[in-house]
Amino acid sequence: MRIFASLSLASFVLASLAAPAQKTAATPQAAQTPPMGWNSWNYFANKVDDKGIRAAADQLITTGMKDAGYIYVNIDDTWEGQRDANGVLHPNAKFPDMKALADYVHSKGLKIGIYSSPGPKTCGGYEGSLGHEEQDAKMYADWGIDYLKYDLCSYIGDVMEKEAPNDRAAQMRLMIDAYAKMDRALKATGRPIVYSLCQYGWDSVWEWGPSVGANLWRSTGDITPDWDRMYVILSQQEGLEKYSGPGHWNDPDMLEVGNGKMGLAENRTHFSMWAMLAAPLLAGNDLPNMTPEIKAVLTNRDVIAIDQDSLGKQGARIYSDGEVDVWIRHLSDGAMAIAVVNAGSDRYSTHPFHLNLHKLGLTGAQTGKDLWTGKTVELKDNMPLELASHDLLLVRLDSPKLLAGAPARPTGSK
C-alpha cells in the first residue's frame, strides 16, 4: 500500500545463486497458483468499510470475475480500532462485526483477506501487531480469515532503526525475524492462511521469503496507475523467475487495471505481463462502475490461464531490440507463451519490429493463438510486426517447435 511516512528505501542486489525450493515452509496447500481476487486499497484507500466489502463480494459474482478465478476479497488498511485491556484488537466502527462479514463473503463461495503490520502502527497509523502476533493470528483464524497482507510500515522506524541504528544488516535481521514470528503464529492456529509479505523487496526477499512461510512477497515498491511506473516494475522482475513457483510467488504489486489514466492498450499490456510473471492477480478497481472494456481485460480466460498455469514457472525476458521487449513463459504440457511488448512509440510498416524466433529457441513456422483477438496466428522467424505504442502481441503455442539443442520443454506440474 502507499506508505504514509517518508521512508528511505534500502538498495538491494540480485543474488547469483538460486534460492533452494522450500515448499514445506509455506502454509500447506496454500497458493499453489498465484492468488486472484480484489483488494480495497488502490481505489478506495481509507474509505473501505463493511458495506463496501460486501458489495465487492457481490460484484465479483455479478461481473463474472468469480467464475474467472477471482476468489479473495481483501480488506487493506484502516479497519483497525483499539485494543482492550486484554490486548484484543477490535475493528473500528466501519466494521461492526468482522466474523459476520467473513461469513457473508464465505457464503458467496469466496475467501476473505485482512491487513496488518509487524510494527506498532500500520502505514495508515492504525494498530499494528507488534507484541500481539499470536493473539492477532488466533483472532484472524476465529473470524475465518483466509489471507494476511503483512506490511512493514512503522516497524522500520520504531523497531529496526531504534534497535540497530546505522546497522543495516542488523535491521534486516530484525525484519526477517518479525516476519518469521507472524508465520509461526499463523501456523499455530491450524487454519490455512495465505501469507503475503509487503516489505517492498528489501534485502532480496525472494531469497528468504519461503523460509519464513511466505506464499508471496512484494518484489518492488508501490505501483501507481500509470504506464511508466508499471513498466519500471515489470522490468525489475527480470532475473527473479528462478525464485517463484507453486506456494511461493514474486509479487510485483496489485493490479491497476481500470485505474488512473492508462489507456486500453496499457491496461491490456499490464494484465498480460502480470500473467506472464505468474504474479498474483489482485484487482483494485471500482467494480460497480467498471467499463465493459476493463471487464473484458480482467476476465480474459486465455490470459488468466497463462497466469494460473500449473507448472508455475515465471516468464523471462529473452531479448530486447530498441524499445521492444520479448518475453517467454514455459507452460505445462510443453506449451509456451510469447509476449512482444512495445514500450515505445508506434511501430509502423515503414520500420516494423522483426521477431527473432531463434533467440527464443524456436525453429520454423509456429502456429498459435493470439490471446487478445482469439485468432489463430502463424509466427515466422524475422517476420515484421506492427505494434501500437504500449501495446503487445501475446501468443500461446501449444506445440512449439524447438531448435535442436534448445532446452527440453518442461512437462507436467512443478
Contact 47, 87 (CB under 8 A): no
Cα atoms found within 13 Å of the Cα of residue 366, Cβ hemisphere only? 29
Between 17 and 135, residue with greater pLDDT: 135
Q: Where are the domains of the chain?
A: 23-307, 316-397
Residue 62 is classified by DSSP as: H
Strand partners, 145: none
Residue 203 annotated as catalytic: no
Phi, psi of 362 (to 5 degrees): -115, 155
Select which of 58, 76, 136, 151 is catalytic.
Answer: 151
* pLDDT score for 405: 78
Q: Find the helix packing angle between 98-107 and 133-143, rounded to 10°.
A: 50
What CATH number does the domain located at 316-397 have? 2.60.40.1180
Cα atoms found within 13 Å of the Cα of residue 364, Cβ hemisphere only? 8
Its pTM stands at 0.91
* pLDDT score for 29: 74
Q: Give the pLDDT mean for 248-277.
A: 98
Residue 151 annotated as catalytic: yes
Which listed CATH number (3.20.20.70, 3.30.70.20, 1.10.10.10, 1.25.40.10) goes with 23-307?
Answer: 3.20.20.70
Q: Give the pLDDT mean for 279-306.
A: 97
Class of residue 38 by CB neighbours under 10 A (exposed 0-12, middle 13-18, buried 19+)? buried
Q: Give the pLDDT mean for 4-18.
A: 34
Between 9 and 370, residue with greater pLDDT: 370
Reported as a single tens digit per residue, the pLDDT across 325-362 is: 999 999 999 999 999 999 999 999 999 999 999 999 99
Residue 396, CA distances (Å) to 300, 317, 399 in order: 14, 16, 9
Type of residue at 152 = L
* pLDDT score for 15: 34
Torsion of CA 337, 340, 341, 346, to 10 degrees: -150
Contact 129, 179 (CB under 8 A): no
Write the DSSP string, 378-391: EE-TTEEE-B-TT-
* pLDDT score for 9: 33
Least confident of 24-33, 97-106, 217-226, 363-372: 24-33
Reported as a single tens digit per residue, the pLDDT across 25-48 is: 444 579 999 999 999 999 889 999
CA angle 403, 409, 410 (to 5 degrees): 165
* pLDDT score for 404: 87
* pLDDT score for 28: 52
Reported as a single tens digit per residue, the pLDDT across 164-212 is: 999 999 999 999 999 999 999 999 999 999 999 999 999 999 999 999 9
Residue 65 is classified by DSSP as: H
C-alpha cell at 263: 489507456
C-alpha cell at 376: 489463430
Select which of 222, 226, 302, 333 is catalytic.
Answer: 222
Instruction: Say yes or no: do domains 23-307 and 316-397 share a fold.
Output: no
Neighbours of 103 (CB within 10 A): 13
